[in-house]
Structure 1
Amino acid sequence: MKFKKQPLFSNLVLMPFVLWATLGCTTQKDNNEAIETPVQVEMQTDLGTIIVELSDKTPKHRDNFIKLVKEGKFDSLLFHRVIQGFVIQGGDPDSKNALPTDTLGNGDLDYRVPAEFDSSLYHKRGALGAARDGNPERASSAMQFYIVQGKIANDSLLEVADKRINGMLAQNAFINASENKSLYDSLQKAIAEENWELYETINDTIKSLGKDYTNFTRYTIPEAHQKVYRTIGGIPHLDQNYTVFGEVVSGIDVVDSIAAVQTSALDRPVKDIRIISMRIVPNE
């Protein structure tokens, strides 16, 4: 997918596919191999090893990630988007053989993963999230993921985050409202046809009209989450709009090292930082 499209980390709120069935405390794979959960994935990078644990509360994302890891889809890909105090992002299949001058962030497989939001999963430091574009279902990229580095939040930043969360929820509720079906269909058509000029025009309309939309359930950042954001840090304004499907359990210092590298104006590391390999950590 080399065509020009919307970044897989938009400020707003792109084919169906079948995921594996899950039962009890195991994940049933297509090769009939059962994997005990919770599943941990070891990520070998140029700067060290990161281990993430996948949440059983987001089974579609968990199973999709396991499948891609077992198929070696992430091996040799770059962390193509690195922003200190925010995230390190990888998983663009186009990055495997990318030239230093290539613009990355548009590559993906030909399906999305349905959004999975759980109130206990949020963008604290070390959270593993799924990148996405501006589709109205808030469905995730099949491959692109990010790990939160984040920063410490004070009361003022949490107040701003609250407004941003609910602003995005309002826009999403607006575009999905039955009375706005024609606008919804136009947005989907623009995405399908890769008509990004029309997409931006419709998106601007959604932002303008959606900011005053009130027919949705407002979200309040739980006090327990606020405490974590004030002490450990994270990116609170992404909560409930991007799926969090795991967290770092080892190697957060490696995340910090990657986040600290020199980057270009497009947030790509000047010196490539590569995911050497990923593997499922065997249960002992």
Structure 2
Amino acid sequence: MNRILTLLLCLGALTAFAAKPKHQYIKIKTDMGECIIMLYNETPQHRDNMISLVKKGVYEGTLFHRIIKDFMIQGGDPDSKTAKQGDLLGEGTVGYTVPAEFRDSLFHKKGALGAARDNNPEKASSGSQFYIVQGKKFTDQELDALEANRLNFKIPVWQREIYKTLGGTPHLDRNYTVFGEVVQGLDMVDKIAAVAKDSNDRPVADVKMTVSVLKRRAAKRLEKQLAKPIKNESFTIN
């Protein structure tokens, strides 16, 4: 009887291990909605850093402190927790940077999660500040002009199609690290991007966030809900 019980427990443990989700996810909640972000396994340093900061509560009560419609919404400045209205934000730091993890297949489509950075030559990312792309849709002519004038590479055909249909910010590709994407709740980004802001692009009314890590069971349920696989293909963003 004891042997059977032990075997059943081992089988249960193996089943639980096998059920481990393919990715890690975070949830961002605001008064303007919430979204779930999948963190890419292809950028492990950024993924693990984000998970660590979320678990430590670094993002709790921070603001989306910089918004530019048709471009992106930026947050993660630890100084924004206690900022008064009108205070300049965007230079807060957790005291370290994360090495760049550029991947040609990870690009700035709408909903992409990117790491903000200053002008350091290594293009290392801020330890905590991030942005979510809203972007806009592009024509072939606009993408051709970007390739000719701003980019030193050709945008792959399949990425061009996404920039034309979903939208994004292609001029940031291979220049800022993309390390995740919104898989649910993309409308939150549109709502925040549309709020009134001051001359420094800070929302007139604070947009605070709470951030949590999805537990294994919830992450597994989410992956089942996502019917088809997702194809991966001053800290300011300019």
Q: TM-score, normalised by structure 2?
A: 0.81
- The residue number in structure 2 matching 1:20 is none
Which of 243, 251, 257 pairs up with 2:185?
251
- The residue number in structure 2 matching 1:116 is 101
- The residue number in structure 1 matching 2:153 is 219
Provide the rounded CA distance (Å) in 2 between the counterparts of 1:53 and 1:130.
Answer: 14
Deviation larger for 152-161 or 60-69: 152-161
Provide the rounded CA distance (Å) in 1 between the counterparts of 2:104 and 2:54.
Answer: 26
- The residue number in structure 2 matching 1:47 is 32
Matched, 1:81 2:57: no
Matched, 1:273 2:230: no
- Secondary structure of the 1:99 match is coil
Q: 1:164 to 1:240 in 2, by over 3 A?
A: farther
Aligned pairs, number: 198
Which of 204, 209, 215 pairs up with 1:282?
215
The one-letter code matched in structure 2 to 1:238 is L
Q: Does structure 2 conserve the Cα–Cα contact (< 8 Å) formed by 1:165 and 1:241?
A: no
The runs of 5 or more residues in structure 1 that have no matched partner are 1-34, 167-217
Which of 83, 87, 96 pairs up with 1:102?
87
- The residue number in structure 2 matching 1:181 is none
Provide the rounded CA distance (Å) in 2 between the counterparts of 1:52 and 1:129.
Answer: 11
The one-letter code matched in structure 1 to 2:58 is K
- Secondary structure of the 2:82 match is coil
Q: Does structure 2 conserve the Cα–Cα contact (< 8 Å) formed by 1:165 and 1:240?
A: no
Provide the rounded CA distance (Å) in 1 between the counterparts of 2:137 and 2:98.
Answer: 30
Provide the rounded CA distance (Å) in 1 between the counterparts of 2:31 and 2:146.
Answer: 33
- The residue number in structure 2 matching 1:147 is 132
- The residue number in structure 2 matching 1:237 is 171
The runs of 5 or more residues in structure 2 that have no matched partner are 1-19, 218-238
Q: Does structure 2 conserve the Cα–Cα contact (< 8 Å) formed by 1:165 and 1:239?
A: no
Matched, 1:59 2:48: no
- The residue number in structure 1 matching 2:16 is none
Q: Does structure 2 conserve the Cα–Cα contact (< 8 Å) formed by 1:165 and 1:219?
A: no
Provide the rounded CA distance (Å) in 2 between the counterparts of 1:157 and 1:266.
Answer: 28
Q: 1:108 to 1:230 in 2, by over 3 A?
A: same
The one-letter code matched in structure 2 to 1:244 is V
- Secondary structure of the 1:62 match is helix
For residues 100-141 of structure 1, what are the alpha-carbon distances to aligned partners after superposition, in whole Å with 9 as ceiling and x for unaligned?
120011111111100001111000000000000101101000
Q: Identity rate of aligned residues, in percent? A: 52
- The residue number in structure 2 matching 1:138 is 123
For residues 171-200 of structure 1, what are the alpha-carbon distances to aligned partners after superposition, in whole Å with 9 as ceiling and x for unaligned?
xxxxxxxxxxxxxxxxxxxxxxxxxxxxxx
- Secondary structure of the 1:96 match is helix
- Secondary structure of the 2:37 match is strand
Report the CA distance between 1:226 and its aligned residue.
0.4
After TM superposition, where is structure 1 displaced by more than 6 Å over at least 4 residues in a row?
none
Provide the rounded CA distance (Å) in 1 between the counterparts of 2:76 and 2:86.
Answer: 18
Q: TM-score, normalised by structure 1?
A: 0.68
Q: Does structure 2 conserve the Cα–Cα contact (< 8 Å) formed by 1:165 and 1:238?
A: no
Matches of residues 150-169 of structure 1 in structure 2 within 5 Å? 150-163=135-148, 165-166=150-151
Q: Which has the larger radius of gyration?
A: 2
For residues 190-243 of structure 1, what are the alpha-carbon distances to aligned partners after superposition, in whole Å with 9 as ceiling and x for unaligned?
xxxxxxxxxxxxxxxxxxxxxxxxxxxx42110100000001000000000000
